[in-house]
Structure 1
Amino acid sequence: MKQLALFRKNIQTLLADMGNGIVTVTHSGLAMVGLAVSVCVVVLALRPDYLVEGEAFVYNWLRERHVSLWWMPDNAVDRVTAADLSILPKSQADVATWLARKYRVAPEPLGALVAEAHVLAVSSKLPAHLILAVMAIESSFHPYVQSKAGAQGLMQVMPKVHAKRYEEFGGKLAAFDPITNLRVGVSVLVDCIKLKGGNVDDGLRFYLGGDSAAAGADGYVARVKAEQTNIDAVAAGQWVAVP
Protein backbone atom coordinates (compact mmCIF):
# COMPACT_ATOMS: atom_id res chain seq x y z
CA MET A 1 0.00 0.00 0.00
CA LYS A 2 2.84 2.36 0.84
CA GLN A 3 4.40 1.69 -2.58
CA LEU A 4 1.08 2.37 -4.35
CA ALA A 5 0.63 5.61 -2.44
CA LEU A 6 4.19 6.66 -3.29
CA PHE A 7 3.58 5.83 -6.97
CA ARG A 8 0.39 7.92 -7.00
CA LYS A 9 2.20 10.81 -5.36
CA ASN A 10 4.99 10.67 -7.95
CA ILE A 11 2.44 10.62 -10.78
CA GLN A 12 0.61 13.60 -9.29
CA THR A 13 3.88 15.50 -8.93
CA LEU A 14 4.84 14.71 -12.54
CA LEU A 15 1.46 15.82 -13.87
CA ALA A 16 1.58 18.99 -11.78
CA ASP A 17 5.06 19.81 -13.11
CA MET A 18 3.94 19.16 -16.67
CA GLY A 19 0.88 21.38 -16.18
CA ASN A 20 2.97 24.19 -14.74
CA GLY A 21 5.42 23.84 -17.62
CA ILE A 22 2.65 24.06 -20.20
CA VAL A 23 1.17 27.13 -18.53
CA THR A 24 4.58 28.78 -18.36
CA VAL A 25 5.41 28.02 -21.99
CA THR A 26 1.95 29.13 -23.18
CA HIS A 27 2.14 32.31 -21.14
CA SER A 28 5.59 33.06 -22.51
CA GLY A 29 4.49 32.28 -26.08
CA LEU A 30 1.48 34.57 -25.81
CA ALA A 31 3.68 37.26 -24.36
CA MET A 32 6.07 36.92 -27.29
CA VAL A 33 3.19 37.06 -29.76
CA GLY A 34 1.83 40.13 -28.03
CA LEU A 35 5.25 41.75 -28.11
CA ALA A 36 5.65 40.93 -31.81
CA VAL A 37 2.22 42.37 -32.61
CA SER A 38 3.02 45.52 -30.67
CA VAL A 39 6.30 45.95 -32.53
CA CYS A 40 4.53 45.44 -35.88
CA VAL A 41 1.87 48.02 -34.99
CA VAL A 42 4.52 50.56 -34.06
CA VAL A 43 6.56 49.89 -37.21
CA LEU A 44 3.50 50.16 -39.47
CA ALA A 45 2.46 53.37 -37.74
CA LEU A 46 5.88 54.85 -38.46
CA ARG A 47 6.22 53.33 -41.96
CA PRO A 48 2.76 52.90 -43.56
CA ASP A 49 4.48 52.16 -46.87
CA TYR A 50 5.46 48.77 -45.42
CA LEU A 51 1.76 47.96 -45.04
CA VAL A 52 1.05 48.87 -48.65
CA GLU A 53 3.97 46.78 -49.90
CA GLY A 54 2.91 43.88 -47.70
CA GLU A 55 -0.67 43.98 -48.96
CA ALA A 56 0.55 44.08 -52.55
CA PHE A 57 2.86 41.12 -51.94
CA VAL A 58 0.11 39.00 -50.37
CA TYR A 59 -2.41 39.99 -53.04
CA ASN A 60 -0.05 39.12 -55.90
CA TRP A 61 1.01 35.88 -54.19
CA LEU A 62 -2.60 34.78 -53.95
CA ARG A 63 -3.39 35.82 -57.53
CA GLU A 64 -0.37 33.92 -58.89
CA ARG A 65 -1.65 30.79 -57.19
CA HIS A 66 -5.18 31.34 -58.52
CA VAL A 67 -6.65 31.70 -55.05
CA SER A 68 -10.16 33.14 -55.27
CA LEU A 69 -10.16 36.77 -54.17
CA TRP A 70 -13.89 37.40 -54.43
CA TRP A 71 -13.69 40.21 -51.90
CA MET A 72 -11.17 42.16 -53.98
CA PRO A 73 -12.15 44.23 -57.05
CA ASP A 74 -10.47 43.31 -60.32
CA ASN A 75 -7.56 45.59 -61.14
CA ALA A 76 -8.59 46.97 -64.53
CA VAL A 77 -5.80 49.53 -64.79
CA ASP A 78 -3.65 47.19 -66.88
CA ARG A 79 -6.41 46.98 -69.48
CA VAL A 80 -6.97 50.70 -69.82
CA THR A 81 -5.68 52.43 -72.94
CA ALA A 82 -4.37 55.57 -71.26
CA ALA A 83 -1.07 57.18 -70.36
CA ASP A 84 0.15 59.66 -67.79
CA LEU A 85 1.10 62.72 -69.84
CA SER A 86 3.87 63.58 -67.39
CA ILE A 87 5.91 60.58 -68.57
CA LEU A 88 5.63 61.49 -72.25
CA PRO A 89 8.08 63.73 -74.11
CA LYS A 90 6.88 67.33 -73.95
CA SER A 91 6.04 67.49 -77.65
CA GLN A 92 3.88 64.37 -77.40
CA ALA A 93 2.17 65.60 -74.24
CA ASP A 94 1.43 68.94 -75.92
CA VAL A 95 -0.07 67.17 -78.93
CA ALA A 96 -2.21 64.95 -76.71
CA THR A 97 -3.45 67.94 -74.73
CA TRP A 98 -4.27 69.91 -77.88
CA LEU A 99 -6.09 67.02 -79.53
CA ALA A 100 -8.02 66.33 -76.32
CA ARG A 101 -9.23 69.94 -76.22
CA LYS A 102 -10.15 70.03 -79.90
CA TYR A 103 -12.00 66.72 -80.01
CA ARG A 104 -13.38 66.87 -76.48
CA VAL A 105 -11.94 63.61 -75.26
CA ALA A 106 -9.84 62.82 -72.19
CA PRO A 107 -6.12 63.62 -72.54
CA GLU A 108 -4.87 60.37 -70.99
CA PRO A 109 -6.27 58.08 -73.73
CA LEU A 110 -4.97 60.56 -76.29
CA GLY A 111 -1.55 60.29 -74.65
CA ALA A 112 -1.53 56.52 -75.20
CA LEU A 113 -2.56 56.93 -78.84
CA VAL A 114 0.05 59.61 -79.49
CA ALA A 115 2.76 57.43 -77.97
CA GLU A 116 1.63 54.41 -80.02
CA ALA A 117 1.55 56.49 -83.20
CA HIS A 118 5.21 57.34 -82.66
CA VAL A 119 6.03 53.67 -82.16
CA LEU A 120 4.17 52.71 -85.34
CA ALA A 121 5.87 55.51 -87.24
CA VAL A 122 9.16 53.64 -86.89
CA SER A 123 7.89 50.35 -88.32
CA SER A 124 5.55 51.83 -90.94
CA LYS A 125 7.86 54.62 -92.12
CA LEU A 126 4.86 56.96 -91.92
CA PRO A 127 5.00 60.25 -90.00
CA ALA A 128 3.42 59.87 -86.57
CA HIS A 129 1.49 63.09 -87.09
CA LEU A 130 0.05 61.79 -90.37
CA ILE A 131 -1.23 58.74 -88.49
CA LEU A 132 -2.79 60.97 -85.84
CA ALA A 133 -4.31 63.21 -88.51
CA VAL A 134 -5.97 60.23 -90.21
CA MET A 135 -7.43 59.15 -86.86
CA ALA A 136 -8.68 62.67 -86.24
CA ILE A 137 -10.46 62.95 -89.57
CA GLU A 138 -11.74 59.37 -89.59
CA SER A 139 -13.21 59.14 -86.08
CA SER A 140 -12.47 62.29 -84.07
CA PHE A 141 -10.73 59.86 -81.68
CA HIS A 142 -13.92 58.03 -80.72
CA PRO A 143 -13.05 54.29 -80.65
CA TYR A 144 -16.62 52.96 -80.97
CA VAL A 145 -17.85 54.96 -83.94
CA GLN A 146 -19.19 53.12 -86.99
CA SER A 147 -19.87 54.51 -90.45
CA LYS A 148 -22.91 53.79 -92.60
CA ALA A 149 -20.72 51.48 -94.68
CA GLY A 150 -19.71 49.52 -91.57
CA ALA A 151 -16.20 50.92 -91.02
CA GLN A 152 -15.35 50.73 -87.33
CA GLY A 153 -13.13 52.29 -84.71
CA LEU A 154 -10.46 54.95 -84.60
CA MET A 155 -9.09 54.32 -88.08
CA GLN A 156 -12.49 53.32 -89.56
CA VAL A 157 -11.32 49.93 -90.79
CA MET A 158 -13.81 47.72 -92.61
CA PRO A 159 -13.89 44.45 -90.60
CA LYS A 160 -15.38 42.45 -93.46
CA VAL A 161 -12.62 43.51 -95.82
CA HIS A 162 -9.75 43.21 -93.35
CA ALA A 163 -10.88 40.32 -91.15
CA LYS A 164 -7.57 38.50 -91.60
CA ARG A 165 -5.65 41.43 -90.18
CA TYR A 166 -7.61 41.07 -86.95
CA GLU A 167 -7.01 37.34 -86.58
CA GLU A 168 -3.73 37.74 -84.72
CA PHE A 169 -5.52 40.02 -82.26
CA GLY A 170 -8.32 37.57 -81.55
CA GLY A 171 -10.88 38.37 -84.22
CA LYS A 172 -12.99 41.20 -85.62
CA LEU A 173 -14.24 42.36 -82.23
CA ALA A 174 -10.71 43.61 -81.59
CA ALA A 175 -11.65 46.48 -83.90
CA PHE A 176 -13.05 48.18 -80.82
CA ASP A 177 -9.77 47.98 -78.96
CA PRO A 178 -8.17 51.39 -79.65
CA ILE A 179 -4.56 50.20 -79.97
CA THR A 180 -5.50 47.20 -82.12
CA ASN A 181 -7.63 49.32 -84.42
CA LEU A 182 -4.79 51.81 -84.73
CA ARG A 183 -2.28 49.10 -85.61
CA VAL A 184 -4.55 47.48 -88.18
CA GLY A 185 -5.49 50.83 -89.67
CA VAL A 186 -1.85 51.81 -90.08
CA SER A 187 -1.09 48.49 -91.79
CA VAL A 188 -3.96 49.11 -94.20
CA LEU A 189 -2.75 52.65 -94.90
CA VAL A 190 0.79 51.42 -95.54
CA ASP A 191 -0.49 48.93 -98.09
CA CYS A 192 -2.67 51.57 -99.75
CA ILE A 193 0.33 53.87 -100.20
CA LYS A 194 2.44 51.01 -101.56
CA LEU A 195 -0.29 50.13 -104.07
CA LYS A 196 -0.15 53.72 -105.29
CA GLY A 197 3.58 53.65 -105.84
CA GLY A 198 4.46 55.35 -102.59
CA ASN A 199 2.37 58.45 -103.25
CA VAL A 200 0.84 59.45 -99.91
CA ASP A 201 -2.01 61.52 -101.35
CA ASP A 202 -3.08 58.74 -103.71
CA GLY A 203 -2.70 56.25 -100.86
CA LEU A 204 -5.01 58.34 -98.69
CA ARG A 205 -7.59 58.47 -101.47
CA PHE A 206 -7.38 54.70 -101.83
CA TYR A 207 -7.65 54.30 -98.05
CA LEU A 208 -10.86 56.29 -98.14
CA GLY A 209 -12.52 54.76 -101.16
CA GLY A 210 -10.73 51.59 -102.17
CA ASP A 211 -10.77 50.75 -105.85
CA SER A 212 -13.44 53.32 -106.61
CA ALA A 213 -12.79 57.04 -106.46
CA ALA A 214 -14.69 58.04 -103.36
CA ALA A 215 -16.73 61.20 -103.44
CA GLY A 216 -14.89 64.01 -101.76
CA ALA A 217 -11.59 62.14 -101.77
CA ASP A 218 -9.62 65.29 -102.57
CA GLY A 219 -11.32 67.12 -99.73
CA TYR A 220 -10.49 64.22 -97.42
CA VAL A 221 -6.81 64.37 -98.33
CA ALA A 222 -6.80 68.14 -97.81
CA ARG A 223 -8.34 67.80 -94.35
CA VAL A 224 -5.85 65.11 -93.31
CA LYS A 225 -2.92 67.19 -94.51
CA ALA A 226 -4.26 70.32 -92.80
CA GLU A 227 -4.61 68.46 -89.51
CA GLN A 228 -1.12 67.02 -89.87
CA THR A 229 0.18 70.57 -90.31
CA ASN A 230 -1.62 71.65 -87.14
CA ILE A 231 -0.17 68.76 -85.17
CA ASP A 232 3.31 69.50 -86.51
CA ALA A 233 2.95 73.08 -85.27
CA VAL A 234 1.73 72.06 -81.82
CA ALA A 235 4.61 69.60 -81.44
CA ALA A 236 7.02 72.37 -82.38
CA GLY A 237 5.72 74.51 -79.54
CA GLN A 238 3.59 76.85 -81.62
CA TRP A 239 0.17 78.06 -80.56
CA VAL A 240 -2.67 76.66 -82.65
CA ALA A 241 -6.22 77.78 -82.05
CA VAL A 242 -8.87 75.23 -81.14
CA PRO A 243 -12.19 75.74 -82.94
Structure 2
Amino acid sequence: MTATNRLAKGIRTVANDIAQGFFEISHNGFALLGLAVMFAIITLTVRPELRKETEVRLMGWLQDRHIQATGLEVEADAVERATASNPQDLPKQQAAVAYWLSKKYNVAPEPLSALVAEAYETGQRSKLDPTLILAVMAVESGFNPFAQSHVGAQGLMQVMTKVHSDKYEGFGGKMAAFDPVSNLRVGAKVLKECIARAGSIEGGLKFYVGAANMEADGGYAAKVLAEHARLLSVAAGKPVPMIAPTPVKAPATPAPDAAPAVENVASLIHSS
Protein backbone atom coordinates (compact mmCIF):
# COMPACT_ATOMS: atom_id res chain seq x y z
CA MET A 1 0.00 0.00 0.00
CA THR A 2 1.48 3.28 -1.01
CA ALA A 3 1.80 6.27 1.28
CA THR A 4 -0.96 8.07 -0.62
CA ASN A 5 -3.37 5.19 -0.14
CA ARG A 6 -2.57 4.94 3.53
CA LEU A 7 -3.17 8.69 3.93
CA ALA A 8 -6.53 8.49 2.12
CA LYS A 9 -7.60 5.51 4.22
CA GLY A 10 -6.66 7.34 7.40
CA ILE A 11 -8.66 10.39 6.37
CA ARG A 12 -11.73 8.22 5.62
CA THR A 13 -11.39 6.52 9.00
CA VAL A 14 -11.21 9.86 10.81
CA ALA A 15 -14.18 11.21 8.83
CA ASN A 16 -16.26 8.11 9.66
CA ASP A 17 -15.35 8.38 13.34
CA ILE A 18 -16.33 12.06 13.38
CA ALA A 19 -19.66 11.37 11.61
CA GLN A 20 -20.46 8.50 13.97
CA GLY A 21 -19.63 10.62 16.98
CA PHE A 22 -21.77 13.50 15.71
CA PHE A 23 -24.69 11.09 15.12
CA GLU A 24 -24.41 9.66 18.62
CA ILE A 25 -24.17 13.11 20.18
CA SER A 26 -27.19 14.37 18.17
CA HIS A 27 -29.17 11.23 18.92
CA ASN A 28 -28.43 11.48 22.62
CA GLY A 29 -29.19 15.22 22.56
CA PHE A 30 -32.60 14.69 20.98
CA ALA A 31 -33.28 11.88 23.43
CA LEU A 32 -32.39 14.14 26.35
CA LEU A 33 -34.56 16.92 24.89
CA GLY A 34 -37.45 14.49 24.49
CA LEU A 35 -37.04 13.33 28.09
CA ALA A 36 -36.92 16.92 29.30
CA VAL A 37 -40.14 17.78 27.41
CA MET A 38 -41.83 14.63 28.71
CA PHE A 39 -40.87 15.39 32.31
CA ALA A 40 -42.02 18.99 31.87
CA ILE A 41 -45.42 17.84 30.56
CA ILE A 42 -45.82 15.36 33.41
CA THR A 43 -44.88 18.04 35.94
CA LEU A 44 -47.31 20.56 34.49
CA THR A 45 -50.07 17.95 34.42
CA VAL A 46 -49.54 16.92 38.02
CA ARG A 47 -49.01 20.51 39.23
CA PRO A 48 -51.80 22.65 37.69
CA GLU A 49 -50.59 25.72 39.58
CA LEU A 50 -47.26 25.45 37.77
CA ARG A 51 -49.08 25.07 34.46
CA LYS A 52 -51.11 28.19 35.13
CA GLU A 53 -48.03 30.15 36.14
CA THR A 54 -46.23 28.97 33.02
CA GLU A 55 -49.15 30.00 30.81
CA VAL A 56 -49.26 33.43 32.45
CA ARG A 57 -45.52 33.90 31.98
CA LEU A 58 -45.72 32.78 28.36
CA MET A 59 -48.66 35.08 27.61
CA GLY A 60 -46.84 37.94 29.30
CA TRP A 61 -43.76 37.30 27.19
CA LEU A 62 -45.83 37.13 24.00
CA GLN A 63 -47.66 40.37 24.87
CA ASP A 64 -44.35 42.12 25.63
CA ARG A 65 -43.03 40.99 22.26
CA HIS A 66 -46.21 42.24 20.55
CA ILE A 67 -45.97 45.63 22.28
CA GLN A 68 -42.34 45.96 21.24
CA ALA A 69 -43.22 45.09 17.65
CA THR A 70 -46.41 47.15 17.22
CA GLY A 71 -46.47 49.66 20.08
CA LEU A 72 -49.98 48.43 21.04
CA GLU A 73 -50.96 46.83 24.33
CA VAL A 74 -53.31 43.96 23.63
CA GLU A 75 -56.01 42.11 25.55
CA ALA A 76 -56.91 38.75 24.08
CA ASP A 77 -60.33 38.73 25.79
CA ALA A 78 -61.34 42.26 24.77
CA VAL A 79 -63.68 40.94 22.08
CA GLU A 80 -65.66 39.09 24.76
CA ARG A 81 -66.57 42.44 26.35
CA ALA A 82 -67.89 43.91 23.12
CA THR A 83 -71.67 44.12 22.83
CA ALA A 84 -71.80 43.09 19.19
CA SER A 85 -72.76 40.17 16.98
CA ASN A 86 -73.00 39.37 13.30
CA PRO A 87 -76.47 40.36 12.00
CA GLN A 88 -76.28 37.48 9.53
CA ASP A 89 -76.39 35.09 12.48
CA LEU A 90 -79.80 36.40 13.57
CA PRO A 91 -83.14 34.96 12.51
CA LYS A 92 -84.49 36.71 9.41
CA GLN A 93 -87.05 38.71 11.38
CA GLN A 94 -84.52 40.02 13.89
CA ALA A 95 -81.93 40.76 11.22
CA ALA A 96 -84.46 42.90 9.34
CA VAL A 97 -85.15 44.92 12.49
CA ALA A 98 -81.43 45.32 13.23
CA TYR A 99 -80.60 46.56 9.72
CA TRP A 100 -83.55 48.97 9.66
CA LEU A 101 -82.67 50.48 13.04
CA SER A 102 -79.01 50.67 12.04
CA LYS A 103 -79.84 52.78 8.99
CA LYS A 104 -82.34 55.00 10.76
CA TYR A 105 -80.26 55.79 13.85
CA ASN A 106 -76.79 55.70 12.23
CA VAL A 107 -75.57 52.94 14.53
CA ALA A 108 -73.39 50.04 13.40
CA PRO A 109 -75.45 46.90 12.72
CA GLU A 110 -73.21 44.67 14.87
CA PRO A 111 -73.99 46.26 18.27
CA LEU A 112 -77.60 46.75 17.23
CA SER A 113 -77.82 43.06 16.36
CA ALA A 114 -76.72 42.16 19.88
CA LEU A 115 -79.34 44.51 21.34
CA VAL A 116 -82.08 43.19 19.07
CA ALA A 117 -81.26 39.60 20.03
CA GLU A 118 -81.25 40.54 23.72
CA ALA A 119 -84.56 42.41 23.38
CA TYR A 120 -86.16 39.33 21.85
CA GLU A 121 -84.79 37.06 24.59
CA THR A 122 -85.79 39.47 27.37
CA GLY A 123 -89.21 40.00 25.79
CA GLN A 124 -89.80 36.26 25.64
CA ARG A 125 -88.87 35.82 29.30
CA SER A 126 -90.93 38.77 30.52
CA LYS A 127 -93.82 38.31 28.06
CA LEU A 128 -93.18 41.79 26.69
CA ASP A 129 -93.17 42.60 22.97
CA PRO A 130 -89.47 42.92 21.99
CA THR A 131 -90.26 45.55 19.37
CA LEU A 132 -91.87 47.66 22.11
CA ILE A 133 -88.65 47.41 24.14
CA LEU A 134 -86.67 48.49 21.09
CA ALA A 135 -89.11 51.34 20.38
CA VAL A 136 -88.68 52.68 23.90
CA MET A 137 -84.92 52.38 23.53
CA ALA A 138 -85.02 54.23 20.20
CA VAL A 139 -87.08 57.13 21.53
CA GLU A 140 -85.27 57.35 24.85
CA SER A 141 -81.63 57.31 23.76
CA GLY A 142 -81.36 56.72 20.02
CA PHE A 143 -79.35 53.63 21.03
CA ASN A 144 -76.68 55.62 22.86
CA PRO A 145 -75.68 53.45 25.86
CA PHE A 146 -74.03 56.43 27.58
CA ALA A 147 -76.91 58.88 27.30
CA GLN A 148 -78.02 60.82 30.38
CA SER A 149 -80.95 63.19 30.78
CA HIS A 150 -80.98 66.42 32.76
CA VAL A 151 -82.76 64.61 35.62
CA GLY A 152 -80.28 61.72 35.79
CA ALA A 153 -81.97 59.05 33.66
CA GLN A 154 -79.16 56.93 32.23
CA GLY A 155 -78.31 54.46 29.51
CA LEU A 156 -80.15 52.94 26.57
CA MET A 157 -83.58 52.94 28.21
CA GLN A 158 -82.98 56.03 30.35
CA VAL A 159 -83.68 54.37 33.66
CA MET A 160 -83.46 56.54 36.77
CA THR A 161 -80.50 54.71 38.28
CA LYS A 162 -80.91 56.29 41.71
CA VAL A 163 -84.56 55.27 41.92
CA HIS A 164 -83.96 51.73 40.65
CA SER A 165 -80.52 51.05 42.13
CA ASP A 166 -81.89 47.86 43.73
CA LYS A 167 -82.51 46.39 40.29
CA TYR A 168 -78.85 46.81 39.39
CA GLU A 169 -77.57 44.91 42.43
CA GLY A 170 -77.69 41.63 40.52
CA PHE A 171 -75.51 43.22 37.84
CA GLY A 172 -72.78 44.40 40.19
CA GLY A 173 -74.05 47.86 41.11
CA LYS A 174 -75.25 51.15 39.64
CA MET A 175 -72.39 51.44 37.15
CA ALA A 176 -74.05 48.60 35.22
CA ALA A 177 -76.53 51.24 34.02
CA PHE A 178 -73.98 51.94 31.29
CA ASP A 179 -73.72 48.31 30.27
CA PRO A 180 -76.14 48.02 27.34
CA VAL A 181 -77.47 44.56 28.17
CA SER A 182 -77.92 45.31 31.90
CA ASN A 183 -79.69 48.58 31.16
CA LEU A 184 -81.96 46.85 28.65
CA ARG A 185 -82.96 44.17 31.13
CA VAL A 186 -83.60 46.61 33.96
CA GLY A 187 -85.49 48.99 31.66
CA ALA A 188 -87.66 46.17 30.36
CA LYS A 189 -88.49 45.10 33.91
CA VAL A 190 -89.49 48.62 34.90
CA LEU A 191 -91.51 49.03 31.68
CA LYS A 192 -93.41 45.84 32.44
CA GLU A 193 -94.12 47.07 35.98
CA CYS A 194 -95.41 50.39 34.61
CA ILE A 195 -97.72 48.66 32.12
CA ALA A 196 -99.04 46.34 34.83
CA ARG A 197 -99.69 49.31 37.12
CA ALA A 198 -101.44 51.36 34.43
CA GLY A 199 -103.35 48.45 32.90
CA SER A 200 -102.42 49.35 29.32
CA ILE A 201 -99.34 49.91 27.17
CA GLU A 202 -100.19 53.57 26.54
CA GLY A 203 -100.80 54.20 30.22
CA GLY A 204 -97.64 52.30 31.12
CA LEU A 205 -95.60 54.49 28.80
CA LYS A 206 -97.04 57.53 30.54
CA PHE A 207 -95.83 56.08 33.84
CA TYR A 208 -92.47 55.27 32.27
CA VAL A 209 -91.81 58.84 31.19
CA GLY A 210 -92.82 60.17 34.61
CA ALA A 211 -96.12 61.73 33.57
CA ALA A 212 -98.47 59.41 35.44
CA ASN A 213 -100.24 62.22 37.29
CA MET A 214 -100.24 64.67 34.38
CA GLU A 215 -102.88 65.31 31.75
CA ALA A 216 -100.35 64.99 28.90
CA ASP A 217 -97.00 63.31 28.41
CA GLY A 218 -95.63 65.64 25.74
CA GLY A 219 -96.38 63.16 22.97
CA TYR A 220 -94.06 60.52 24.39
CA ALA A 221 -96.45 57.55 24.31
CA ALA A 222 -97.64 58.40 20.80
CA LYS A 223 -94.07 58.55 19.51
CA VAL A 224 -93.11 55.22 21.10
CA LEU A 225 -96.25 53.53 19.78
CA ALA A 226 -95.61 54.90 16.28
CA GLU A 227 -92.08 53.53 16.32
CA HIS A 228 -93.41 50.27 17.71
CA ALA A 229 -95.86 50.00 14.80
CA ARG A 230 -93.05 50.63 12.31
CA LEU A 231 -90.87 47.94 13.88
CA LEU A 232 -93.72 45.44 13.80
CA SER A 233 -94.06 46.09 10.07
CA VAL A 234 -90.30 45.74 9.55
CA ALA A 235 -90.30 42.44 11.45
CA ALA A 236 -93.17 41.25 9.24
CA GLY A 237 -91.09 41.94 6.14
CA LYS A 238 -93.04 44.99 4.98
CA PRO A 239 -91.28 48.03 3.47
CA VAL A 240 -91.21 50.88 5.98
CA PRO A 241 -89.97 54.39 5.11
CA MET A 242 -87.36 56.04 7.29
CA ILE A 243 -88.64 58.88 9.44
CA ALA A 244 -85.93 60.94 11.06
CA PRO A 245 -86.11 60.83 14.87
CA THR A 246 -87.25 64.03 16.56
CA PRO A 247 -86.91 64.88 20.24
CA VAL A 248 -89.92 64.42 22.45
CA LYS A 249 -91.05 67.45 24.39
CA ALA A 250 -90.78 66.73 28.09
CA PRO A 251 -93.98 66.91 30.10
CA ALA A 252 -94.31 70.05 32.18
CA THR A 253 -93.06 69.75 35.74
CA PRO A 254 -96.09 69.39 38.02
CA ALA A 255 -96.81 72.00 40.64
CA PRO A 256 -96.00 71.04 44.25
CA ASP A 257 -99.66 70.36 45.01
CA ALA A 258 -99.93 68.09 41.97
CA ALA A 259 -96.84 66.03 42.75
CA PRO A 260 -97.24 62.27 42.30
CA ALA A 261 -98.20 60.22 45.30
CA VAL A 262 -95.33 58.61 47.23
CA GLU A 263 -96.40 55.11 46.29
CA ASN A 264 -96.03 55.98 42.59
CA VAL A 265 -92.52 57.42 42.77
CA ALA A 266 -90.75 54.05 42.81
CA SER A 267 -92.46 53.04 39.59
CA LEU A 268 -91.53 56.18 37.68
CA ILE A 269 -88.45 56.19 35.50
CA HIS A 270 -87.78 59.80 34.70
CA SER A 271 -89.29 63.08 33.66
CA SER A 272 -87.25 63.51 30.49
Provide the TM-score with structure 2 as the length reference.
0.66
Match of 1:226 in 2: 226
Match of 1:69 in 2: 59
The reply on whether 1:201 has 2:191 as its aligned counterpart is no
Q: CA deviation at 1:30?
A: 6.0
Match of 1:27 in 2: 26
Match of 2:91 in 1: 89
Superposed CA deviations along residues 83-140 of structure 1, whole A, max 9, x for unmatched, are 1011101111111011011001111000001001110111211111001000000001
Q: CA deviation at 1:21?
A: 8.3
| Gaps in structure 1 of 5+ consecutive residues | 1-18, 34-60
Match of 2:138 in 1: 136
Match of 2:168 in 1: 166
Partner of 1:240: helix, strand, or coil? coil
Q: How is 1:1-243 mapped onto 2 (pairs within 5 angstroms)?
A: 23-29=22-28, 66-67=56-57, 69-70=59-60, 71-72=62-63, 73-75=74-76, 76-196=78-198, 198-209=199-210, 211-213=212-214, 216-217=216-217, 219-243=219-243
User: Following the alignment from structure 1 to structure 2, what is the Cα–Cα distance between the partners of residues 193 and 64?
Assistant: 55
Moved more, 82-91 or 64-73: 64-73
Structure 1 68/209 Cα, relative in aligned 2: closer, same or farther at 3 Å? farther
The number of residue pairs the alignment matches comes to: 196
Q: CA deviation at 1:27?
A: 2.6
User: Following the alignment from structure 1 to structure 2, what is the Cα–Cα distance between the partners of residues 68 and 212?
Assistant: 63
Structure 1 77/222 Cα, relative in aligned 2: closer, same or farther at 3 Å? same
User: What letter is aligned with 1:158?
Assistant: M
Match of 2:15 in 1: none
Do the aligned partners of 1:205 and 1:218 also contact (CA within 8 Å) in 2? no
User: Following the alignment from structure 2 to structure 1, what is the Cα–Cα distance between the partners of residues 193 and 201?
Assistant: 11
User: Following the alignment from structure 1 to structure 2, what is the Cα–Cα distance between the partners of residues 177 and 22?
Assistant: 67
User: What letter is aligned with 1:69?
Assistant: M
CA RMSD in angstroms, aligned pairs only? 2.7
Q: CA deviation at 1:82?
A: 0.6
User: Following the alignment from structure 1 to structure 2, what is the Cα–Cα distance between the partners of residues 63 and 128?
Assistant: 46
| Gaps in structure 2 of 5+ consecutive residues | 1-17, 33-50, 64-73, 244-272
Q: CA deviation at 1:219?
A: 1.1
Structure 1 194/31 Cα, relative in aligned 2: closer, same or farther at 3 Å? closer
Provide the TM-score with structure 1 as the length reference.
0.73
User: What letter is aligned with 2:26?
Assistant: H
Q: CA deviation at 1:238?
A: 1.2
Partner of 2:151: helix, strand, or coil? coil
Partner of 1:149: helix, strand, or coil? coil
Structure 1 87/146 Cα, relative in aligned 2: closer, same or farther at 3 Å? same
User: Following the alignment from structure 1 to structure 2, what is the Cα–Cα distance between the partners of residues 188 and 115?
Assistant: 19
Percent identity between matched residues is 47
User: Following the alignment from structure 2 to structure 1, what is the Cα–Cα distance between the partners of residues 207 and 53?
Assistant: 48
User: Following the alignment from structure 1 to structure 2, what is the Cα–Cα distance between the partners of residues 227 and 146?
Assistant: 21
